[in-house]
Amino acid sequence: MPNYSAIRQEYSDALPGWQLVKRCVAGPREVRKYNEYLPMPDPLNQSPENIARYEQLKKRAMFLNVVGRTRIGLLGAVFRKTAEIELPAAIDYLLENASGDGSSLEQLSKESTGECLDTGRGGLLVDFPKVQLPEGQTALTVAQAANARAYVHFYCAESIINWREDVIDGVRRLVLVVLHEKINEPTADGFEFTAKDQYRALMLRDGRYVQSVHSSENPEGEETEPKDKTGKPFDHIPFHFFGAESNDASIDKSPLEDLAEVNILHYGNSATVEESGFISSQPSLFITTDIDPSEFVKLNPNGMHIGSRRGHNLGKNGTAIMLQANETQLARELMKDKEEQMLMIGARIVQQGSGAETAEAVRIRYSSDNSVLGTIAGNVSEAVRLALFDAQRFMVGAVDEKGTVFWLNQEFFDQAMDAQAITAQVQLWQQGIIAKRDLRVNLRKGAVLEADRTDEDIDADREDDAPVLGSEDDPTTNQPPGVKDE
């Protein structure tokens, strides 16, 4: 029987880091579910009292969700502008329904980018649904063929449990990918369901792509050989990795893992601060008296009341003193150190920049983060583009590489032009060094023109405007002297 659920060692080594980041992204409630992130002060004491005290310690500790907020900010930087997309007619349905569940192509890319930030890894599988023909029917009808479409399915890093690459004809090729899936089987009444494990094996066997699905009920698996529109088998596995560094099958380090590690240490320092504050902030009363204990109870039947208006009999030699611990700043200073470290890693939400800091200084300060984010955006774009090629192989057999464009935004900051820069651009156009189209492209990049405002839109609006007189030498046109309209 095939060991379809085998897990690679690299996967097992990377899994704790992935889980750490995703739990931090989920927020305080998720982090508090796991005791490993906040050690118990006395782990050998498993008494109910100590466990209850530890639970109170976790409730008082503040988890500042820097990882989650940073992730939102980085995603917002990529998707602040819509992706550049151009698809052939055969697969233009993917714009609105990329994975078959109603998710758009942009939403698929956003999910992929977020996964790449969390784990530095993920994958896209292009698949064509198996059409069950009615009994006696041997070929698809036109209506059935129209509804049968190839889709792009997203798989997170935890789902890709096994893979293998071999060198074939001098080229490293992906020959095995095993995907762990969860299938929900409803009960007879339809109101409940049972989650079951399923393993999808993608294999390149003798240069032909085959796929099999395994489960506990069907361990041997059901093998199929997907073919393109022309009936030819695929010579590669239509599964495309994307990563934080490259798009090969190796595991890249999670971009947010370092930040998550510091975030958890900050959480531990917070627990120390809150616990010490809870314990030491309450004053403790100490008394000395020569009264016999039994006699003291008679004289003070309700015990000692702090702050009450009644008096207390402590005998002729009795004294009372109130003690309260002094505030300690060590744990709080450690928290501040962690906040500065998180800011250095990329957690802009923790501390705002000073008012005197220029936009250029901000860009320089975060240039390393942007380079990583730019690499992620580029890698996800390339993986999506390759997936779109395979979707075309399923739908039409041929690939239109020039007509297939998908590129995520990599302009993470507004680079607004000042008046001097605008004047310089206009002078270049007037001198005939650049064309009017180049001028408008540069004005869009400089946030002078709206990014989605095309040349056709501008020309149409200009036709509706009143005539604008040019120079004295050429009053009949709004062009500079000697420059012809393009």
219 has pLDDT over 70: yes
Are 255 and 376 in contact, with CB atoms under 8 Å apart? yes
Find the mean pLDDT for residues 111-118: 96
Task: Check residue 481 and give its pLDDT.
Answer: 46
pLDDT of residue 351: 33
Q: Could you tell me which residue, 354 or 447, shows the higher pLDDT?
A: 447
What b/e readout covers 7-18, taking b as 16+ CB neighbours within 10 angstroms?
ebeebeebeebb
> Could you tell me the pLDDT band of residue 457, with boundaries at 50, 70 and 90?
confident
pLDDT of 368 reads 47
**Rg value, the chain, Cα:** 33
Please tell me the distance from the alpha carbon of residue 142 to that of residue 157, in angstroms, as a whole number.
Answer: 38
Q: Which of 310-314, 355-359, 374-378 has the lowest mean pLDDT?
A: 355-359
What digits encode the pLDDT tens for the residues 193-208? 888 999 999 999 999 9
- Amino acid occupying residue 306: I
Mean pLDDT to the nearest integer, 382-394: 96
pLDDT tens string 22-68: 999 999 999 999 989 988 878 888 888 888 888 888 888 888 888 99
Cα 89 off chain centre by:
31
How many percent of the chain have pLDDT more than 70? 77
Q: What angle do the packed helices 436-445 and 419-430 form, to 10 degrees?
A: 170
Length of the chain: 486
State yes or no: pLDDT of 363 exceeds 60.
no
What does the pLDDT average to over 374-381? 92
Q: Look at residue 486 in the predicted model and tell me its pLDDT.
A: 46
What would the pLDDT profile of 420-440 be if each residue is shown by its tens digit?
Answer: 888 988 888 888 899 988 888
Helix (H, G, I), strand (E, B) or coil at 162: strand
What is the rounded average pLDDT for all residues in the chain? Answer: 81
The predicted structure's pLDDT at residue 326: 58
Q: What is the pLDDT of residues 6-17, one digit of tens each?
A: 999 999 999 999
- pLDDT greater at residue 372 or residue 348: 372
Burial track 335-345 (b if 16+ CB lie within 10 A, e otherwise): beebbebbbeb
Least confident of 234-243, 268-277, 388-397: 268-277
Q: Does residue 348 have a pLDDT over 50?
A: no
Alpha helices in 221-329 (DSSP H): 257-280, 293-299
User: Greatest CA span in the chain, whole angstroms?
Assistant: 115
Helix residue spans in 255-404 (DSSP H): 257-280, 293-299, 330-345, 359-365, 367-395
Burial class (CB in 10 A: 0-12, 13-18, 19+), 75: middle
What type of residue sits at position 296? F
SS3 173: strand
Residues 240-269 have a mean pLDDT of 91
Residue range 124-137, pLDDT digits in tens: 999 998 766 566 65
What is the predicted pLDDT for the residue at 166? Answer: 92
Residues 6+ apart with CB under 8 A from 313: 291, 299, 300
DSSP for 425-485, written as a single string: HHHHHHTTSS-HHHHHHHHHHTTSS-TT--HHHHHHHHHHSPP----SS-TT-SSPTT---
Q: How far apart are CA 338 and CA 261, in angstroms?
A: 10
